[in-house]
């Protein structure tokens, strides 16, 4: 299964964290730091796999992609195929790119919920449920539409800035 998905900036700041195995919250920061140290020490143009036993326990592997200012990291165990996971990272990045039209770090910073929606369309409980980026984009758009329908009932605007900008 997939044990965790992380998006970490090249500054070492987490942009998206999702654990599919229980990790105590007080350990999260340590895990992010461990992964970041591991990745930032690796030169460019080397393999995308790293053994992560030291951080995530025996048998854990890590696949990552370094794109612009972000590391996209999937942590998985022996039940997943390495190259398939690499593909999945690619699918995730492609989907983000489609959803945000040329995704950049700021999109990810400001779209916490949407990011989770996208990820949840792809992975559930550590199992891959959808691998087609098109399908995922479709589902995400559908969800956005449903939410919009539902939120027309809302009387109070979400934030003052929204209110003023109207």
Partner 1 sequence: MASAPSAPATAPSLLDTLFQLSLDDLVKSLRADPSAAGESAAIVRALSVVHREIRAPEAATKAAALQKLTYLSSLYFAPVASHPLAFPAIELLASPHLPHKRLAYLAASLSLHPSSLSLLPLATHQLHKDLSPSTSSAVSHHVCALALHLLASPAAAAAPDLAVHLAHDLVPHLSRGSPRAIAAAVRVMAACPSGAVPLLFKPLAACLASPDPRASTAAAAAFCELSAPPADPAPFLPLAPDLYNLLTTSRSNWALIKVLKVFARLAPLESRLAARIVDPVCQLLSSSSAMSLTIECIHTVLTALPAHAAAVALAIGKVKEFLGSSDDPNLRYLGLLALGMLSPAYVSTVNESHDVIVLSLGDPDSNIRREALHLTMGMVDDNNVQDIAGMLASHAARSDPEFANEILGAVLAACGRNVYELVSDFDWYVLLLADIAKSLHCAQGDEIGRQLVDVGLRVKDARPELVQSARTLLIDPALLGNQLISPVLSSAAWVCGEYINFVKDPVELVEALLQPRTGLLPMSVRAVYIQAVLKVITFCCNLYCERLNDSNKELDLVFDESAIDQTAVRSSETEIRPGEDEILMASTTEKDPFSQKSIVYMISLIEATIGPLVECKEVEVLERAHNLMGFLHLLREIQELKDMKVGDHTKHNRVKELVKNMQTIFSQELSPVSVNALKKVSPPEDLVLNENLAELADVVSEDDTTPSTSIFLSCRGSHSAETEDESATSVGSSSLLSEHRKRHEIFYLPTGKAEEDANNYPCANDPLLSADNRIATEDKSEAVQLVSDWKKIKSTRSRPKVVKLDGEDFLSSMMANANIAKENSLSCTVRGVLMGRDAKPLSSPKVSDRTTGGMPKNMDSGESSSQRVENIDDGIGSHSRTSKPQNNEKEKSAIPLESDGKEARKHRTSGRSGHRQGKQKNRERPSTQPNVVPQAPLIQDFLL
Q: Is 107 in the site for partner 1 (CB under 8 A)?
A: no
Which residue, 101 or 162, has its beta carbon nearer to partner 1?
A: 162
- Going residue by residue from 46 to 75, which x/- string records binding to partner 1, judged by CB under 8 A? xxxxxx------------------------
Which of 109, 134, 138, 141: binder of partner 1 (CB under 8 A)?
A: 109
Q: Is 40 in the site for partner 1 (CB under 8 A)?
A: no
> Which range in 64-72, 90-98, 105-113 contacts partner 1 by CB under 8 A?
105-113
- Alpha carbon distance 35, 70 (integer Å): 13
**For binding to partner 1 (CB under 8 A), which residues are involved?**
1, 13-26, 28-29, 42-43, 45-51, 77-79, 81-84, 86-87, 109-110, 112-113, 116-117, 120, 124-131, 142-143, 146-147, 149-151, 153-154, 156, 158-162, 164
């Amino acid at each position: 299964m997939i044990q965790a998905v992380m998006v970490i900036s090249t500054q070492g700041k987490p942009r998206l964290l999702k654990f599919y195995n229980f990790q105590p919250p007080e350990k999260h920061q340590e895990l992010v730091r461990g992964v970041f140290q591991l990745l930032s020490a690796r030169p460019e143009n080397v393999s995308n796999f790293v053994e992560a036993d030291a951080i995530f326990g025996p048998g854990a592997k890590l696949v990552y992609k370094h794109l612009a200012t972000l590391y996209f990291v999937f942590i998985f165990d022996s039940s997943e195929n390495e190259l398939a996971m690499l593909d999945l990272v690619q699918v995730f990045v492609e989907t983000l790119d489609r959803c945000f039209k040329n995704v950049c770090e700021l999109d990810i910073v400001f779209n916490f919920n949407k990011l989770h929606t996208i990820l949840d369309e792809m992975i559930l409980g550590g199992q891959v449920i959808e691998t087609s980026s098109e399908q995922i984009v479709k589902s995400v758009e559908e969800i956005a539409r449903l939410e919009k329908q539902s939120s027309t009932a809302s009387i109070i605007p979400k934030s003052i800035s929204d209110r003023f900008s109207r």
